[in-house]
Structure 1
Amino acid sequence: MTNCLIYQFNAELKGYKPRMWRRFQVSEDISLARLAYIVMTLFEMRANHLFDFEFKMELNKSKLIKELGRENIEIPRKFLLNIIKIGLPDSETNELDKRIYDFNIFDVKMKHFITPMMPKTRFTYDFGDDWEINVKLEKIIIDETLSKKDLPRVLKGKGYGIIEDCGGIDGLKSIAEAYSEKSGEEYENYCEWLLDDDIDLASFDIVDMNNRLKNIPRIYEKIYEHGIYPTEQEIELIERDY
């Protein structure tokens, strides 16, 4: 059985109604990159784009004013926020763009940045469609009945997830509306593009998702960290061709 702590999270797709969310658990010793692969799996992200995490920590206003040597000044809120961004290095040079990122996501542990004192982070995937997932640590527990092979696991959730390259939240809303009507030119176009005439964005299959969590984060690790293109069988798994 596992001796490590278990981190329980709630994650929600920002800006979409009805809410799409997941409650899930991971072991404490995973990397922040592995947490990203888990979130991507949970929300049907298919490893076609870049991603990052952003953390915010409030600075002490009185300390900042003292350091500036001025007392009666109004400080814009943006200067009271310490933003930490953690992302991917360049796939060719393997170097981090330090104008944007403070840390290489492959080099840091999840538990060093997500704590009870700093429980929230924002995960962004695809900087064109800008899918944002708000991730919050709910609690840290010990469960003697679990082993590491049982993790990650999803406990609850609602909603299917995203559709790659559909134009972000607005595009996802258009798809949901078209498939709810099941008629019209827009519906026919989506059916042709997605090769599916019956998509239910309100659906969530917890058994299927837990099965996917056993394999897909590992595939995403090979893609992002080792530059290994997925096999035909792995592509079929990612694209739900089963």
Structure 2
Amino acid sequence: MPPAKKATSTVYQLKITLSGARPPIWRRVQVASDITLGKLHKIIQRAMGWYECHMHEFDIFGEAYGEPMPEYDLDIRSERNVRLNQVVTGEKFKFSYIYDMGDGWDHKILVEKVLPADPEVRYPICIKGKRACPPEDCGGIWGYAEFLEAIQTPDHPEHESMLEWVDGEFDPEHFDLEETNQQLKGIR
């Protein structure tokens, strides 16, 4: 019989905020401190509501972590074998996560707390959040502002096409904690 997997003893409470969004778009998640940056990428994607369609990278102390792509000659370390607790120094530590280099969705991540793991909780878990994630490929934070103006102004020339693009409706204030946690449960 294989040995039982050692339960994580420390949890990081992270606040993930989408830079430039006014009003703020953010998620508060708790994650095992020993996850890889690759797993953290998946957690951010699901917690925020992105679809993992684009390149990404973490910037920690000026070092870039992500999926190395030798064909582009980028100086980026693999996120697959670097654990969060190897690069995060503790509470109040800040770092960046950039998703979709074209649109430039920059996320600021703050380690709010370092907590003992609760054996009754399955990590990762989202404990709070505010507002909907912008639609993929809407052009970054500036494009998102233009998208919102178009869908909220019935006589805007792009009103109908933008609504059609998001299947008829989009509520920028909507955040569903239960759905977010359902998405996070799919991460192994």
TM-score with structure 2 setting the length: 0.88
Question: Paired residue for 2:46?
Answer: 41
Pairing 1:165–2:137 present: yes
Q: How does 1:85-96 map to 2 (within 5 A)?
A: 85-90=64-69, 95=70
Kindly state the Cα deviation for residue 120 of structure 1 after the two structures are TM-superposed.
1.0
Kindly state the Cα deviation for residue 192 of structure 1 after the two structures are TM-superposed.
2.4
Separation in structure 1 between the aligned mates of residue 81 and residue 65 of structure 2, nearest angstrom: 10
Separation in structure 2 between the aligned mates of residue 96 and residue 146 of structure 1, nearest angstrom: 45
1:177-218 CA deviation, whole Å, 9 max, x = no partner? 223334532111102222x22200111011111111111x45
Q: How does 1:44-123 map to 2 (within 5 A)?
A: 44-56=49-61, 83-90=62-69, 95=70, 99-101=74-76, 103-116=77-90, 119-123=93-97
Separation in structure 2 between the aligned mates of residue 86 and residue 209 of structure 1, nearest angstrom: 25
SS at match of 1:42: helix
Contact 1:115/1:137 (8 A) holds in 2: no
Pairing 1:25–2:30 present: yes
Unpaired stretches in structure 1, ≥5 consecutive residues:
57-82, 219-242
1:91-143 CA deviation, whole Å, 9 max, x = no partner? xxxx5977522x21112111101122771110001110011110110111114
Kindly state the Cα deviation for residue 175 of structure 1 after the two structures are TM-superposed.
1.8
Aligned length: 183
SS at match of 1:197: coil
2:182 to 203, 211, 221: 211
Which AA in structure 2 matches 1:203?
Answer: H
Contact 1:88/1:96 (8 A) holds in 2: no
- Which portions of structure 1, spanning 4 or more consecutive aligned residues, are displaced by more than 4 angstroms? 95-99
Question: Paired residue for 2:3?
Answer: none
Pairing 1:16–2:21 present: yes
Higher helix share: 1
Higher strand share: 2
Structure whose alpha-carbon radius of gyration is higher: 1
Which AA in structure 2 matches 1:36?
Answer: H
Q: Taking structure 1 as reference, are residues 42 and 191 closer, same or farther at Cα in structure 2, changes over 3 Å only? A: same
SS at match of 1:211: helix
Kindly state the Cα deviation for residue 45 of structure 1 after the two structures are TM-superposed.
1.4
TM-score with structure 1 setting the length: 0.70
Contact 1:54/1:85 (8 A) holds in 2: yes
